[in-house]
Amino acid sequence: MKSIEQLLTKADLHFQRNEYSQAYDCLRIAGQSGHLYAALDYAYHIAPNSPKAAIDYLSALPDNSKPTVRFHCLLISRFYLFKEMNYELVSELVRLASAGHAESLIVLLSWTEQNTSVYAQLKGTLGRHNPNIYRQLFMGDPNYADVSTSLCEDTIITTVLEKQTSLLDKTKTAVDSNGIVCEMSGVLSDIECDYMLLRYKSLLQPSMVLNPLNGNPMKDDIRTSEVAIITNQWVDWISREVEVKMSRMSDTKPQHGEPLNLLRYKDGQEYKPHYDGFTDTQLKQTSIIEEGGQRTHTILAYLNSLSEGATHFPKLGITIYPEKGKLVSFLNVDKNLALEKQSYHCGQPVSTNEKWMLTKWVRLNSTQYGNLVHGS
């Protein structure tokens, strides 16, 4: 019988030699011997193709009653197995939240209207159990001290399920007569917007664009913002939820998405007029084809509201100002998959304010990222 440390060292060696199945086998056993992160790595490795097996594996661990283990079972159920929030799932999330589990509380808060008693109860529970996370998310608002009642579980379950139904019933509005650009307000909750910004801002780096000649990322004056690319090692429940909302709104599949980009523009930064779709030269490059082919759609989400820094489509004469929680989607190609010339657009410069947003570029086919994060 090997120790956990020996198993992890062995897994590392296999990873270095690209021997993935042996490496994950070591993680599986290390997980069963009590190493939680090895167990989660293994579970997320098998979840895209075998979500049920991933949940069974986690549920059979010796520490299967730990909130973290239960939370990840629920996450796998929601995004890989059922692909929706159902009654059982929300009730278990509420039980974890009642016990003070921070991530469960944040997920539930993101599904709840502000200024309601349910919101105040969830906020209070987060403040009491996780004061540091509370302070970051609510910027020091000390109001939770007023709310001392315990969570009213049935009301929370009903609230979350009703919110899901109301979001599914929402319809997008075409902004131009051909429906190239569409918008939908109030899709992301304030908590989702604030959380995405706070959680991922530490990953910000200068933005890149793809070199039209060889497809390699490069710095260019055309795009001066900073960007955080939320790759699969950083995704969590909230970021996946945002992606699902973006894909519903644009009638695309979450599996076809590239990783989300979090963008920050400040001090005159901008994204000059450009196409998101690839040129014919870029489409001949294997790296682009392998990763799902042409970028057919773009979905933007604004994380704050501004009266500058609009997204502008000069050929369509459309100007959309950032509005917190609003999604905008547009087509980068026409019916024949040729570049949609009308999709030419820019992010206008900001002067006095910071502009925070998310961009999702969606490909014609599945991406490796999409399958890993949303199942196959």
Ligand X SMILES: O=C(O)CCC(=O)C(=O)O
List of residues contacting ligand X (CB under 6 A):
271, 276, 298, 300, 311, 345, 347, 357, 359
Q: Of 189 and 332, which has the nearer Cβ to ligand X?
A: 332
Q: Of 100 and 273, which has the nearer Cβ to ligand X?
A: 273
Least CB distance to ligand X at residue 163 (A): 27
d(CA 148, CA 100): 13
Q: Does 243 bind Fe ion (CB under 5 A)?
A: no
Q: In the bound complex, which residue of the shown chain has the CB atom lying closest to ligand X?
A: 347
Q: Of 160 and 300, which has the nearer Cβ to Fe ion?
A: 300
- Collapse the DSSP code of 366 into the 3-class scheme (helix H, G, I; strand E, B; otherwise coil) and give the result: coil
d(CA 4, CA 372): 26
d(CA 303, CA 30): 40
Task: Tell me the H-state helices in the chain.
Answer: 4-16, 20-32, 36-46, 51-59, 67-76, 87-98, 102-110, 117-129, 131-138, 153-169, 190-200, 237-250, 280-283, 286-290, 368-374
Q: Of 54 and 303, which has the nearer Cβ to Fe ion?
A: 303
Structure tokens at 363: 């490909």
184 binds, among ligand X, Fe ion, none (CB under 5 to 8 A by kind): none
> How many other C-beta atoms are found inside a 10 Å radius of the C-beta of residue 108?
26
Least CB distance to ligand X at residue 311 (A): 3
Stretch that binds Fe ion, among 40-48, 185-193, 261-269, 272-280 (CB under 5 A): 272-280
Q: Which of residues 152-171 bind Fe ion (CB under 5 A)?
A: none
Q: Of 24 and 361, which has the nearer Cβ to ligand X?
A: 361
Q: In the bound complex, which residue of the shown chain has the CB atom lying closest to Fe ion?
A: 276
Contact 362, 299 (CB under 8 A): yes
Query: Pick from 276, 311, 329, 360: which binds Fe ion (CB under 5 A)?
Result: 276
Q: Which amino acid would we find at residue 13?
A: L
347 binds, among ligand X, Fe ion, none (CB under 5 to 8 A by kind): ligand X
Residues, the chain: 376
- Collapse the DSSP code of 37 into the 3-class scheme (helix H, G, I; strand E, B; otherwise coil) and give the result: helix
Q: How far is CA 369 from the centre of its chain?
A: 12
Least CB distance to ligand X at residue 325 (A): 15
Structure tokens at 289: 């084809």
Q: Of 94 and 229, which has the nearer Cβ to ligand X?
A: 229
> How many other C-beta atoms are found inside a 10 Å radius of the C-beta of residue 141?
11
Q: Of 258 and 276, which has the nearer Cβ to Fe ion?
A: 276
Burial class of residue 305 in the structure, from the number of CB atoms within 10 Å of its CB (0-12 exposed, 13-18 middle, 19+ buried): middle
Least CB distance to ligand X at residue 191 (A): 22
d(CA 257, CA 366): 7
Least CB distance to ligand X at residue 262 (A): 10
Least CB distance to ligand X at residue 248 (A): 20
311 binds, among ligand X, Fe ion, none (CB under 5 to 8 A by kind): ligand X
343 binds, among ligand X, Fe ion, none (CB under 5 to 8 A by kind): none
CA Rg, the chain, in Å? 22
Least CB distance to ligand X at residue 254 (A): 18
Q: Of 7 and 249, which has the nearer Cβ to ligand X?
A: 249
No. of helices (H) and no. of strands (E), the chain: 15, 14
Least CB distance to Fe ion at residue 275 (A): 8
Cα–Cα distance list, 53 to 48, 60, 140 (Å): 10, 10, 42
Q: Of 54 and 260, which has the nearer Cβ to ligand X?
A: 260
Least CB distance to ligand X at residue 219 (A): 15
Listed residue (197, 196, 217) closest to 207, CA to CA: 217
Interaction site with Fe ion (CB under 5 A): 276
